[in-house]
């Protein structure tokens, strides 16, 4: 895949202590390493193996992914709004690439 596109959805504002939902999706083939091509050769595994979310540089969510995760993985999770700042999201590819996205939030 030429360029990997990630999308995130974070509420722009939240009250302190409120539970907020964060939605993420990344376009990725998530090649499991268990398929073979037409000549019978195993297609090497290339998946996103780790997802992290940090707020103002401090990690607040992390998830390890394995081969059973679908292509174009969608992930949503909940956090308690604590402070204003920027969420940074990172998807770690088997090939060493890290795909990034970020979104601001204002907590009042």
Partner 1 sequence: MRPLIAGAAMTAALLAHAAAHAAGADSAKYSAGDKRSGYLFSSPDTRAMQDDDFQNPGMAWVDEGARLWSKADGAAGKSCGSCHGDAASTMKGVAAAYPKFNNHLGKAIDLEQRINICRQRALQAKPFPAESRELLALTAYIKSQSRGLPMHVAVDGPAAPLFAEGRKAYEEPRGQNGMSCASCHGDEAGNRRLDTVSQGQSNGFPTYRLSWQTLGSVQRQFGNCLASMKAKPLAADSQEAIALELYVAARGNGLPVETPAVRK
- Build a one-symbol-per-residue string for 41-70: x at contacts with partner 1 by CB under 8 A, - elsewhere: -----------------------------x
Interaction of residue 5 with partner 1, rule CB under 8 A = yes
> Can you say how many angstroms the Cα of residue 53 is from the centroid of all Cα atoms in its chain?
8
Q: Which two tokens stand for residue 34?
A: 């268990």
Which DSSP string do the residues of 85-108 spell out, in sequence order? EEEEEEEEETTS-EEEEEEEEEE-
Q: Which is nearer to partner 1, 17 or 78 (CB)?
A: 78
> Can you say how many angstroms the Cα of residue 43 is from the centroid of all Cα atoms in its chain?
23
Q: Which is nearer to partner 1, 59 or 74 (CB)?
A: 74
Q: Which two tokens stand for residue 53?
A: 């979310």
Write out the residues near partner 1 by the rule CB under 8 A. 1, 5, 7, 9, 23, 25, 27, 29-30, 70-72, 74
């Amino acid at each position: 895949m030429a360029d990997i596109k990630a999308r995130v959805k974070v509420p722009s504002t939240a009250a302190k202590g409120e539970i907020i939902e964060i939605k993420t999706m990344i376009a990725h083939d998530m090649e499991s390493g268990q398929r073979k091509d037409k000549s019978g050769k195993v297609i090497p595994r290339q998946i996103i193996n780790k997802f992290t979310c940090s707020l103002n540089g401090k990690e607040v969510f992390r998830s390890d992914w394995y081969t059973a995760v679908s292509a174009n993985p969608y992930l949503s999770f909940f956090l308690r709004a604590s402070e204003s700042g920027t969420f940074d999201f990172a998807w770690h590819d088997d090939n060493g690439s890290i795909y990034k996205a970020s979104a601001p939030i204002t907590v009042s």
